[in-house]
Amino acid sequence: MDILEKLNWRYATKEFDASKKLSETQLNLLLEATNLAPSSFGLQPFSIVVVEDNKLREKLKAAAWNQPQITDASQLILFAINTDLSEKHVDDFIARISTTRNIPVESLAEYENMMKGSIKQLPKEELQTWQAKQAYIALGQLMVTAAVEGIDTCPMEGFDKKEFDKILGLEDKKLSSVVIAAVGIRSATDKYQALPKVRKALDELIIKL
């Protein structure tokens, strides 16, 4: 497999073929790969919402300036951060480490206290920015995986986040939407798929010291 060829094939798909859906196997592979993305501390301070319901997506489309990807993609994968990230999230993570690696919780006390201290010291706005950064790392892994598997994606920030939160009931779950990846199969009529990528030359992009 030529990874550069796959990444050149990938583009931010503007037109999805609404008649083509990802198989359950394809969708699960994307989600499993995204779950394996790195995050600070390994805490994964975000949730992933998979939206397939057509009625919901029609409402979301209106809150995303009627962009067709919202309804035409096979699925919408939305990344949402916690509005109340707290010590409980760390406790749950520590318990998961203990169970997965068969390590006594007590032996993880130093790591636990370090994480809790880091979270406590950040103002709410900075804490939410930090969580969003972790979600974007996962988004990147999802998109690379999709490219390798021949699945199209479109990352989307152009939507009313507060309205999305209301429509999806995220407020009740103490979550706040950050970014979307529309996933599916490109339409043959999408003109953007044939355009060459416009990128800086490596010697312009990279500074070697």
- Domain spans in the chain, listed from the N-terminal domain onward: 3-84+128-205
Contact present, 98 and 154 (Cβ < 8 Å): no
CATH number of 3-84+128-205: 3.40.109.10
CA separation for the pair 93, 114 (Å, rounded):
13
pLDDT at residue number 79: 99
pLDDT for 202 equals 97
Render pLDDT for 79-118 as a digit per residue (tens, 0 to 9): 999 999 999 999 999 999 999 999 999 999 999 999 999 9
Q: What are phi and psi of 59, to 5 degrees?
A: -65, -40
Written as six digits, the tokens of 77 are 């994968």
pLDDT over 90 at 203, yes or no: yes
- Express each pLDDT in 130-173 by its tens digit: 999 999 999 999 999 999 999 999 999 999 999 999 999 999 99
Secondary structure, 3-state, 134-174: HHHHHHHHHHHHHHHCCCEEEEECCCCHHHHHHHHCCCCCC
